[in-house]
Chain A
Amino acid sequence: MKEKVIGNRASRLDAVSKVTGKAKYTDDFFEREMLVGKVLRSPHAHALIKHIDVSKAKSLEGVEAVITHEDLPKIKFATAGHPWSLDPNHRDVADRLILTDKARYVGDSIAAVVATDHLTAEKAIKLIEVEYEVLPHVLDAEEAIKPDAPTIHDEKKDNIISSFGQAFGDIEQDFQQADYIMEGVYETSIVQHCHLENHTAYAYKDTDGRIVIVTSTQIPHIVRRVVSQALGLSWGKVRVIKPYIGGGFGNKQDVVIEPLTAAMTLSVNGKPVRYQLSREECFIGTRTRHAIKFYMKTALSKDNRLKAIHIKAFSNNGAYASHGHSIIMSASSKFRPLYHFNSVKVEPKTVYTNLPTAGAMRAYGVPQICFALESHLDDICKKLKLNPIEFRKRNLISLGHVDPLSKIKVRSFGIPECIQKGKELIKWDEKKKSYENQTGEKRRGLGMACFSYFSGTHPVGLELAGARIVMNQDGSIQLQVGATEIGQGSDTAFAQMAAEVLGISMDMVRVISTQDTDIAPFDTGAYASRQTYVSGAAVKKAALEVKDKVLKIASRKTGLKVEDLDIVDKQIVEKDLGTPLCSLEEIAMLSYYDRIHAEPIKSDTSENIRTNAVAYGVTFAEVLVDMVTGKIEVLEIYNVHDSGTIINPSLAEGQVHGGVSMALGYALSEKLMFDEKTGRPLNHNLLDYKLQTILDTPKIGVGFVETYEPTGSFGQKSIGENPAISPAPAIRNAVLDATGVQFNKLPMNPQAVFEKFKDEGLL
């Protein structure tokens, strides 16, 4: 009997090293005589830099270098963690210098110091004299595109990074023929990833004169490219090493601190320099999640079918483009394979403002559009007195649906079952009945929200993944991948895949968790929930190649045909009979030491995935709302996912718990705030920025509907980002159910709820 490894609750490969504190993160490595880098940040939201005097800072004892934009190449570069595009029209916006020549937000990097220790570096920062000419600033996206708004980048006079939209069908006709037209405005706030490990890196020149950067990143191969571009170096002159990382959630799918870290080491002739961000710097100096305002307008027929949707969106991108317009483009693509519309028109504007830069964050624009759409659908149901579940089910697309624009085909479709399962878990019908006609101070309500999401970025981006396997003399293997383990558990899932194909146990698979661009296979990294789907295909391909090589040797040894052989539980067996013929170890030994045929068994391969798989899910939530204090308590919450085959239920549940927890904060408490008058951040620390603690987190229920995705190497689809998408609108809809009040802006923190209740005359 062949043992199944796929679907097992295998323990994480790195669990022991992490619980014992032995796992090494970027800050845990030393180089001798490591110097310290620090940055002078702008106190102004928008200002010209007239003059910088670094002479006093330079003369301080212990200071080895002070650098400004004048010391660095005048090369504007793009930082987004996307694969390079050979087509110049599809490249990210190159709008950054390593150190800026104009301050565009409070916190912008003006100058850098390299010194022997932190204290000296801090002192030197204070000695740098900058003469600013303060300019008017703008923080709101809709304000920023008005004709009299200050221009933030000269290359985009109107502050619009892009307004490229998507549309299909005859939307005008659908609205003309509509029986009902519904409108709503929905808005999300700026939030932050809050990975526990801040951005940190160190760099030095090796003995060949190449720059080596050790960094906490999700995308080592892209870091290599962007650092090279920013410094005008040949790409092979840079080597990037990614050890264990303390979370990323998209904030490390961006090349944030590495170009400056490299510039720092170059400024001291290649001596090692460490550049760590403090928590406060991490809040403002890295990336945030875009606040997006949606104007939704929907056409319906009188049999309650969705006909057309017209969405106008204003996406607040902050001071630099980073992932820029890709975020709203992702949002406007990924919501589509869920409900049937005859026509869709999305008109987005991605806009520069004088705020910290927004970039990638878990589910890349989709939590924002899901909040708008799923809230809007419940508002429609409220107005038309419809059952929100039946309304959604009535309008779902079906298996085989092909998106008219992306051409992505739905080949597995578990959302109807997800809805059914969620409904049962929360006891929807039973509770709905008992919560009718509540009038007290504390009211209960139920809500739900659905989502669709992709597995990777095809057809927009390249989906290339690499895997390498080397078989040892005992039949165990080293598996090396270019995709990065960032806590989500991909290394363990890859090991399960390799073990499954090769008929070996998990303890015979060693995954090399560190990516070093000199030796790790090329892969674009950890993002877009692509690893199990995209990189998993490369792992399977590599494992199949190794298996084929093993069986060829076994065939030579036994005289049986390759197709009649298999590997089961570390034994070569005759397939049909199941009879063991020899051990895998014997074959591995022959591969190393056979005097005539020796050739160690290995595979080094890539997979270029040109399909996408649509994953689905739903959140059901029950809330208790205190009508006097405005406190919203989530009593029960269930996320049910169709992510195809679940490779490892334990890891998948972990993703759901974490994603829902993050989304609870998004719904109820998290908001990065800025002073309107100055653009200064007000709560850029973990005390005043309210992310979920254990005391805030309710019990999170998890369910899976396991479909089989034909394009997945093992039937799998995405799971990593998905759980963070639908909880916020589900909670919002539960609050609507409990109170009749439409919260169209996140977060629903006690202050916002209190103010809204007052506006509605409830207080």
Chain B
Amino acid sequence: MIINGKSYTKKIDPLLRLIDFIRDEAKLKGTKEGCGEGECGACTVIIDGRAVNSCLVLAASVNGKEITTIEGVSQGKLHPIQEAFIEVGAVQCGYCTPGMILSTKALLDKNIDATEEEIKESISGNLCRCTGYQIMIEGIKKAQDKLKKR
């Protein structure tokens, strides 16, 4: 598989979850686990353009696919979504943040003009217990502006 542009070829246990491959084999610790059952969204990564809970995917099943983790979002400098999250104050404990950013990225990569309803829908699978979500929406809207100006 290709993670953040880097190719990984490895013999793996067929039962290995993608999150474990990312965290333990590729040593990318930014992807977080909150429930292991696809309920919280903390482990969200982008697989071929779609936001997916990496705890529900077997690593072997993404053979040949392109995966983006939080480490692949900022290439040298912060991505506008990351900048926007910092500027509006959408980060607290930070544990849901990587997954939230990847769900947002998957949405905005496809639909930069997403409406508030579409934004809400797209991050409705990402739980956050600290922020009450509202500032996240502000952050995502700000990111839309930034991306459009680029």
* Residues of A in contact with B (beta carbons under 8 Å apart): 9, 11-12, 14-25, 27-28, 193-198, 244-247, 249, 278-279, 486-489, 650-651, 653-654, 657-662, 685-687, 691-695, 697, 699-700
Contact = CB atoms under 8 A, between A and B. Distances in A.
Given A279-B36, A699-B134, A247 B78 contact: no
Given A21-B70, A195-B93, A657 B135 contact: yes
A685 B35 contact: yes
B141 to A, nearest CB: 13
B31 A661 contact: no
Contacts of A16: 78, 82, 86
Interface in B97-143: 97-98, 101, 120-121, 123-137
A436 B134 CA distance: 31
- Residue among B78, B120, B132 facing the most chain A CB atoms (10 A cut-off): B132
B3 interface: no
10 contacts: A19-B70, A19-B91, A197-B32, A488-B92, A657-B134, A657-B135, A661-B131, A691-B129, A694-B123, A695-B120
B89 A9 contact: yes
A20 B77 CA distance: 10
Given A15-B91, A25-B95, A685-B39, A247 B129 contact: yes
Contact of A23 (B37, B85, B94, B128): B94
Given A246-B32, A246-B93, A278-B36, A193 B134 contact: no
Contacts of A650: 89
Nearest to B123: A694
A697 B31 contact: no
Given A20-B30, A279-B34, A691 B127 contact: yes
Contacts of B101: 19
Given A12-B86, A279-B35, 15 more contacts: A14-B91, A19-B70, A20-B30, A20-B82, A27-B33, A194-B129, A278-B35, A279-B37, A279-B40, A653-B89, A657-B135, A658-B92, A686-B37, A695-B121, A697-B134
Contact of A654 (B74, B125, B131): B131
B144 to A, nearest CB: 16
Which of B35, B91, B127, B130 has the most A CB atoms < 10 Å from its CB?
A: B130
A489 B92 CA distance: 7
B71 A694 contact: no
Contacts of B70: 19-21
B132 A661 contact: yes
Contacts of B137: 694
A22 B124 contact: no
A195 B28 CA distance: 22
Q: Is the interface of B mostly helix, strand, loop or mixed?
A: loop
B96 interface: yes
Interface string B1-43: 0000000000000000000000000001111111111011010
A694 B30 contact: no
B89 A20 contact: no
Interface of B: 28-37, 39-40, 42, 69-71, 73-74, 78, 82, 85-87, 89, 91-98, 101, 120-121, 123-137
Nearest to A662: B129
Contacts, number: 168
9 closest A-B pairs (Cβ-Cβ)?
A: A21-B30, A487-B93, A246-B95, A18-B94, A661-B132, A21-B70, A657-B132, A686-B39, A28-B29
A195 B39 CA distance: 13
A499 B35 CA distance: 39
Contacts of B127: 194, 196, 686, 691, 693
Contacts of A22: 30
A247 B130 contact: yes
A244 B94 CA distance: 9
A9 B135 CA distance: 14
A334 to B, nearest CB: 23
Most buried by A among B73, B123, B135: B135
Contacts of A687: 37, 39
A287 B91 CA distance: 25
B59 to A, nearest CB: 15
B135 A12 contact: no
Contacts of A25: 32, 95
A697 to B, nearest CB: 5
A658 B32 CA distance: 20
Contact of A19 (B36, B40, B86): B86
A692 B136 CA distance: 14
B21 to A, nearest CB: 15
Given A19-B101, A196-B128, A661 B133 contact: yes
Contact of A196 (B93, B132, B134): B93
B96 A19 contact: no
A658 B132 CA distance: 4
A196 B96 contact: yes
B36 to A, nearest CB: 6
A196 B99 CA distance: 11
A660 B132 CA distance: 7
A12 B124 contact: no
Contacts of A9: 89
Contacts of A660: 132
A16 B86 CA distance: 7
Contacts of B78: 16, 19-20
A13 B32 CA distance: 21
A427 to B, nearest CB: 20
Contacts of B121: 695
A95 B130 CA distance: 32
Contact of A245 (B28, B93, B96, B126): B93
Nearest to B24: A30
A278 B135 CA distance: 29
B98 to A, nearest CB: 5
Contacts of A489: 92
A693 B124 contact: yes
B1 to A, nearest CB: 18
B34 A196 contact: yes
A11 B87 contact: yes
B30 A11 contact: no
A651 B89 contact: yes
A36 to B, nearest CB: 12
A543 to B, nearest CB: 24
Contacts of A195: 93, 95, 129
B17 to A, nearest CB: 11
Contact of B95 (A19, A196, A662, A692): A196
Contacts of B86: 11-12, 15-16, 19
Contacts of A197: 32, 34, 93, 95
A247 B85 contact: no
Nearest to A279: B35
A694 B99 CA distance: 14
A294 to B, nearest CB: 26
A20 B37 contact: no
A636 B60 CA distance: 47
Among A244, A697, A699, the one with the most B-chain Cβ atoms within 10 Å of its Cβ is A697
Contacts of A694: 120, 123-124, 126, 133, 136-137
